[in-house]
Amino acid sequence: MTPLSSRPDRYAPIVAEARRQVLALSLEQVCAASGARLASASAVRAQPSPAGAAAALHLPVLDRELRMQLPEGELAWPDGTAPGTDYALVSLHYLARAAGPLAPESLVRYGGLPGAAAYAGAFEARAEQPLAALLDQESARLTETADALGTRRVDGLWGFRFFPYLPLVVRLAPAEGPLPSACVILFPRRAGYLHHVEDLAVVGQLLAGRLLELTAAGFH
């Protein structure tokens, strides 16, 4: 489970193939299945565009939005910067494989997803343990960030829409008595049958990373 952004050249052909797969599909059906939306180029630029001008596909990703410019398929954040390989690949795979809303029910830890058991330890070390460590140091700030980025449920649970139709649930348990702080990231069981298990690992790590980043920045 090496971070994808550490080897961008290695993954460039995989990203290109994922982009090709999305562009080969009916974009209207892609939007219906994924929760993305199509908008004209003029809507993006807030100025008139000539007839036949390219459109763009917009995909919400947590608190941000990725734009796929059409017909080229190039991805960019709202400020025009390109996403890292990790965001690009999981977003393209999501667009190609989403099949409607997944309910945040029948939740399992990463290791409980089909084919993920061998990677569970690495996922815990890279996604869950950093959040648990921050919870031990900055409990109030982390929970404020979780409130702003997601939806508080019960018993220390927060729900997040990483993608429109891919929810994750995070349990943040502050230290209590002899028990240390703990974090658990939960996935809908059905996600493991729709999406690559490697992509779900990256999604969980990106969610954890975004929570860490925004907490450090004082986001609330």
Task: Specify whether 124 is located in the same domain as 181.
Answer: yes
Task: Specify whether 116 is located in the same domain as 78.
Answer: no
* 9 band by pLDDT with thresholds 50, 70 and 90: confident
Task: Specify whether 121 is located in the same domain as 174.
Answer: yes
Q: Does residue 16 form part of some domain?
A: yes
Mean pLDDT confidence for 93-109: 95
Task: Specify whether 113 is located in the same domain as 198.
Answer: yes
| Domain termination residue (choose one: 72, 97, 122) | 97
Write out pLDDT tens, residues 40-72: 754 444 434 343 446 999 999 999 999 999 999
Model pLDDT, residue 22: 97
Query: What letter represents residue 216's amino acid?
Result: A
CB proximity list for 73: less than 8 A, separation 6 or greater: 19, 20, 22, 23
| Domain termination residue (choose one: 97, 132, 150) | 97
Task: Specify whether 83 is located in the same domain as 117.
Answer: no
For residue 16, count other CB atoms closer than 10 A to its CB. 12
User: Over the chain, what is the mean pLDDT?
Assistant: 90
Domain membership of residue 8 as a residue range: 4-97
Write the DSSP symbol of residue 100. S
Mean pLDDT confidence for 167-171: 97
Task: Specify whether 43 is located in the same domain as 74.
Answer: yes
CB proximity list for 189: less than 8 A, separation 6 or greater: 106, 107, 108, 112, 113
Task: Specify whether 66 is located in the same domain as 158.
Answer: no
Write the DSSP symbol of residue 83. P
Q: Does residue 102 form part of some domain?
A: no
Q: Does residue 54 form part of some domain?
A: yes
Residue 3: half-sphere exposure toward Cβ, Cα within 13 Å: 10
Query: Prior bond to 71 cis, omega within 30?
Result: yes
Write the DSSP symbol of residue 125. I
Write out pLDDT tens, residues 112-140: 999 999 999 999 999 999 999 999 999 99
- Determine if residue 201 is left, alpha or beta; phi over 0 gives left, psi from -120 to 50 gives alpha, anything else beta: alpha
pTM: 0.89
Task: Specify whether 159 is located in the same domain as 91.
Answer: no
**Measured between alpha carbons, how far is 76 from 83 in angstroms, rounded to an integer?**
6
Task: Specify whether 66 is located in the same domain as 119.
Answer: no
Task: Specify whether 38 is located in the same domain as 56.
Answer: yes
* Number of folded domains that form the chain: 2
Task: Specify whether 89 is located in the same domain as 133.
Answer: no
